[in-house]
Amino acid sequence: MRLPKFVIGFLLLAVSAFAADIDGKWAGTISTPNGDFPQTFTFKAEGAVLSGSLEFMPGMAIPIADGKVDGNNISFSVTLDFGMPFKLTYTGVVSGNELKLKGDAGGMPFEFVLKKG
């Protein structure tokens, strides 16, 4: 059975829609009034599911939760627990080796860029 060329083209486009290369380690900084804070994430996509972790401090990895991949868009959350849980939510867009993230920390939005490395 031979598929028409337009069907093959459509299938290739559909596959590329899920082709954000998010797997690996991403690093950057968040600028705050108290200075810059390094951020390092490790991500792994399996279909539409995103897993990974935030390296909060050297040797302290906090797993991400609710991770999703939709084309070049990702979303996930991280819960920090210092005696009381504090949830951070993130959305981002992957563009080559750059990941632009928007986050929310208890109603306070922030934005930063990570580079794959």
Number of domains in the chain: 1
Question: Tens digit of pLDDT for each residue in 34-79?
Answer: 889 899 999 999 999 999 999 988 888 999 999 999 999 999 999 9
Question: Tens digit of pLDDT for each residue in 77-100?
Answer: 999 988 999 999 999 999 999 999
Its pTM stands at 0.80
**Residue 97 maps to which CATH number?**
2.40.128.120
How many other β-carbons are positioned within 10 Å of the β-carbon of residue 41?
A: 24
Q: Which of 41, 43, 59 is nearest to 51 (CA)?
A: 43
Query: What's the domain range around 17?
Result: 5-116
d(CA 54, CA 114): 12
What are the distances in angstroms from CA 104 to CA 3, 4, 7, 83, 101? 46, 47, 41, 20, 10
In this structure, the chain runs to a length of 117
